[in-house]
Every structure is written in C-alpha cells, then in structure tokens.
Amino acid sequence: MKTLKIAIQKSGRLNEKSVELLKNCGLSFENYKSSLISPVSNFPLEILFLRDDDIPEYVQDGIADLGIVGENVIQETEVKVSYLQRLGFGKCSLKIAVPNTDDIQSLAELNGKSIATTYPVILGKFLKEKGITSDIRTISGSVEISPGLGLSDAICDLVSTGGTLKSNGLKPFADVMSSEAMLIGRAGSENEDLVQELIQRIQSVLRAKETKYVVLNVHKDSLPAIIALLPGVKSPSVISLAEENWVAVHTVIPERDFWDRISQLKQAGAQGIVVMPIEKIIL
C-alpha cells in the first residue's frame, strides 16, 4: 500500500491547529520542528512540514496528496486543487486599509492610488472586477508600515482583530476576501480510499467540535416540551431515574445556539444540566 502525504505549515499561525486536528484524528506522530517529514505510526501517512506558500503547488504537482492551507494562499498561487473541507480555523480577511487621516469614501477614489500588498494576484482581480486602476506595489512583508514610510497610499493585507492596523495608524476600508484554513487535495488521486478515510476522520472531529453532549433531568410531564426543543443525532435517549416520574435525557446540542437552547430547556423544566465535550461523531 502506498503512503499518503499531507502538507501542513511548518511554523506560523496554522501550524498548531493543523497538528492538533491531525492528532485529534487519532494519528500518532512526532511534531518535529527540525525535520521536514514526520511519519505517522498508526496510519499510512507522512506529514510534510512546509512554508505555507509552497503547500498549494506541492498538492497540485502530486508531491503531497493533501494539504492544509489558508484560502488566501490558494487563490494567490492560482493552482488547480480541489477544496475538500473547510476547517474552521485561521479565519481572517484580506482588506484594503488606509491611513486614519484619509477621508476616502468610495472605492473609485482608489483610482490612481498606490496600494502595497503581498497579495497582488487577488488584489489585481478584485480591482479589475470593480473597474479600478491602482498601482499595485508588491512587497514581501511588513505591509502595514508602507503608508507611514511614504511607500504607498493604502495597503491590502490580512486582518483578524485589526490590532496591527490600529497600531500603525491605519483603518480598514474595503473587504477583498475572507479566508479560513482549508483541506485541499487533487482530483483523481491514486490513493482515493486513504484520502476518503482521512477526510471522514477529519469531519468526525469537526462535527464533534460543533456540538456538546448534554444530560438533563426532567419530570415526565415536561418531557414532550423538552424533546420538542432537542435535535439530537437521531432522537434523544430517555433513561428512567430512581425517583419515580423523573427521567434523564441525553442529547447533543449545536455549539452555535448553545446558550439560547439551554435557557429554553430550563424554562421548559430541565434541571441538573450537565454539559460535556465530544471527541468524535461518526455518522
């Protein structure tokens, strides 16, 4: 059997979460910082630790079967890869930002202005779509200092909290794209079975992250109202308690509307609510 290869970032913003995801999939490997390749001892897989910029091409060219990388990098490198799964981390946006003192109102005012970026391809497409001609200055890093140095009128850079912009006297002006970490692969991989197995493991970990396991006690009279509030994987389990007419309800609740759901359950008569994390959900 052939060994599958997955490329992840060697160090940087996506490294830790990528390693954690693979470990949560039950894969056992050393997170060597010094070596480029780490074998997985309990799955036919090798992990390649790379600069994030190189990951899309490695996947496109078949050097790696899979990769974990930000959508921003995939689009900037213009490679042909398939998007297999959004991973829910590394969220950020590519934004155009201008100095705080700038009273720019419309995108059209960027005509003839210079914009410094490390994302000339994405920015170029965005401006073309909007019919704007700006002077795109491609630089390789520290974009946020370029207006202060007089190198450009504006910048286009990745933003998550906006703290870096603020501390450099800049304000966000327009959204170019939003991005998150993505599992990518290649159509027609010769290791399709293993790829599918790994995708399923990843999906079971992601599903578990989005849900909580909840156990609550309720009087039998309130049970129909409680059940009506619960989605569950199929339907909730109802287990009799030693105390007559009382039951324990076991279910899973989506993380996104968790607190709303809990207060509805309390109003409907739920007591002694216990919430637990879930490791995996295999459908």
Which residues in this chain contact ligand ATP in the complex, by CB under 6 A?
9, 12-14, 51-53, 70, 72-73, 90, 92, 158, 160, 179
The residue (of 4 and 73) whose beta carbon lies closer to ligand ATP is 73
Closest chain position to ligand ATP (CB):
70
Work out how close the CB of 12 gets to Mg ion at its nearest, in angstroms, rounded to a whole number.
7
Identity of residue 84: L
Work out how close the CB of 179 gets to ligand ATP at its nearest, in angstroms, rounded to a whole number.
5
Query: Which does residue 193 touch among Mg ion, ligand ATP, none (CB within 5 to 8 A, set by kind)?
Result: none
Count CA within 13 A, CB hemisphere, residue 77. 19
Residue with tokens 């391809």: 121
Among 20, 53, 78, 192, binds Mg ion (CB under 5 A): 53
Query: Which does residue 200 touch among Mg ion, ligand ATP, none (CB within 5 to 8 A, set by kind)?
Result: none
Q: How many residues bind Mg ion (CB under 5 A)?
A: 2
DSSP class of residue 28 equals: -
How many residues are given for the chain?
A: 283
Query: Which does residue 251 touch among ligand ATP, Mg ion, none (CB within 5 to 8 A, set by kind)?
Result: none
The residue (of 157 and 251) whose beta carbon lies closer to ligand ATP is 157
Identity of residue 48: L
State the Cα–Cα distance between residues 236 and 283, nearest whole angstrom: 16
Query: Which does residue 4 touch among Mg ion, ligand ATP, none (CB within 5 to 8 A, set by kind)?
Result: none
State the Cα–Cα distance between residues 91 and 72, nearest whole angstrom: 10
The residue (of 55 and 223) whose beta carbon lies closer to ligand ATP is 55
Residue 22 has φ and ψ, to the nearest 5°, of: -65, -40
Q: Which of 61, 100, 93 is nearest to 186 (CA)?
A: 61
Among 46, 52, 65, 76, binds Mg ion (CB under 5 A): 52
Work out how close the CB of 5 gets to ligand ATP at its nearest, in angstroms, rounded to a whole number.
17
The residue (of 73 and 194) whose beta carbon lies closer to ligand ATP is 73
Q: Which of 197, 201, 158, 157 is nearest to 180 (CA)?
A: 158
The residue (of 53 and 260) whose beta carbon lies closer to Mg ion is 53
If one asks whether residue 78 binds Mg ion (CB under 5 A), the answer comes out as no
Name the token pair of 153.
């009128």
Q: Which residues are CB-neighbours of 18 under 8 A, at least 6 positions away?
A: 8, 9, 68, 181
What would the DSSP string read from start to end of 2-23? Answer: PPEEEEEESSSTTHHHHHHHHH
Q: Which residues are CB-neighbours of 103 under 8 A, at least 6 positions away?
A: none
Query: Which does residue 14 touch among ligand ATP, Mg ion, none (CB within 5 to 8 A, set by kind)?
Result: ligand ATP
Query: Which does residue 90 touch among ligand ATP, Mg ion, none (CB within 5 to 8 A, set by kind)?
Result: ligand ATP
Q: Which residues pair with 95 in a beta bridge?
A: 157, 175
Work out how close the CB of 11 gets to ligand ATP at its nearest, in angstroms, rounded to a whole number.
6
Residues that bind Mg ion (CB under 5 A): 52-53
